[in-house]
Amino acid sequence: MTAARRPVIGISSYPRTGTPPGFAVPCGYVDAVRLAGGTPIGLPPGDPNPAHYLDLLDGLILTGGGDLDPQTYGGQPHETLYSVSKERDTFELALVRAVLERQDRPILCICRGMQVLNVACGGDLHTHIPDSVENAIYHRRERLCPSEHRATVEPASRLATILGTTDCIVRSWHHQAVRELGRSLRPVAWSEDGVIEAIEHASHAWCFAVQWHPELQLDDPTQQRLFSELVAHSANGRAPAQPR
């Protein structure tokens, strides 16, 4: 008997870097998809027609990484911006917009990925959280050092159903965040300083975004459920989780 095909999950890669230049996908995303029973495939930026990937994939993860160019959301340059890549911005914004036209392609957006989703839907960002959020907590200890903090999840949200909790400790690694929400997006989790930590798409069958990094907490069953549900929906197109 032929074994069932494992769902293929596309994972957006980081931009070109190094000598010679190469594309990279952090191991946490790959490990998370494999643990959930999926087959991970890297998606390097630069393809002029990202939508064609959707016929090859069963689901997608939009990863973290460097900052979006503030020109993509009407923001201003800032000295703290890093790893800005026009090639990656163009690719991922087009990819997200294509996914939102496909109800049969679930997508999980993580950290930068959540910001890309918001900008793709017409929203904007806090360019640097400490400049615009009063009494901000540490969302990263320093540029390459994540921070752990509490996130409170809306009890009636689909995300709470997936996580199985409304209160969790998350690992963050960012200095930007959603400011004005994009079209059809609703906030469903917050940190103690009021920064939006998760959003859901109101009309897409399975589109969730978290500002934290669940792939850095694979020993936490709550966080692994995000990847397990993504792979499950990629495999069989079950109806999305319903509010409790």
- CATH number for the domain including 196? 3.40.50.880
Q: What is the pLDDT of residues 70-97, one digit of tens each?
A: 999 999 988 888 898 999 999 999 999 9
In a domain, 105, yes or no: yes
Lowest mean pLDDT among 46-50, 162-166, 170-174, 219-223: 170-174
* Residue 218 within any structural domain of the chain: yes
Per-residue model confidence (pLDDT) at position 153: 98
pLDDT in tens, 144-160: 667 899 999 999 999 99
Q: What is the pLDDT of residue 34?
A: 98
Q: How far is CA 99 from CA 66, 102, 142, in A?
A: 22, 5, 33
Residue among 240, 233, 231 at smallest CA distance from 8: 231
More confident residue, 145 or 127: 127
Q: In which band, very low, low, confident or very high, does the pLDDT at 58 lie, cut at 50, 70 and 90?
A: very high
Q: Tell me, what's the pLDDT at 140?
A: 67
Structural domain includes residue 3: no
H-helix or E-strand containing 190?
Answer: strand 185-191
Residues facing 174 on adjacent strands: none
Please indicate, yes or no, if residue 86 is contained in any of the structural domains: yes
Supply the pLDDT for residue 143: 60
pLDDT score of 239 more than 50: no
Query: Which has more confidence, 177 or 4?
Result: 177
Q: What is the mean pLDDT of the chain?
A: 91
* Pairwise CA distance, residues 94 & 140, whole Å: 28
CB-side neighbour CA atoms (13 Å) of 41: 14
Q: How many domains does the chain have?
A: 1
99 has pLDDT over 90: yes
Tell whether 1 is covered by a domain. Answer: no
The torsion region of residue 243 among left (phi > 0), alpha (psi -120 to 50) and beta comes to: beta
| H/E element, 18 | none
If you average pLDDT over residues 126-142, what whole number do you get? 77
- Residue 31 is assigned to a structural domain of this protein: yes
C-alpha 98: how far from chain center: 16
Quick check: is 241 in a domain?
A: no
Q: What is the pLDDT of residue 136?
A: 78
Whether 92 contacts 116, CB under 8 Å: yes
**Residues that are catalytic:** 111, 213, 215
Q: Is the pLDDT reported for residue 2 higher than 70?
A: no
**Domain range holding 144?**
8-236
pLDDT band at 173 (very low <50, low <70, confident <90, very high): confident
The Cα 57–Cα 123 span in angstroms is: 27
Quick one: pLDDT band at residue 131, thresholds 50, 70, 90?
confident
Task: At 163, list the tokens.
Answer: 């996580």
**Residue 162, pLDDT score:** 97
Please check whether residue 244 lies inside any domain of the structure.
Answer: no
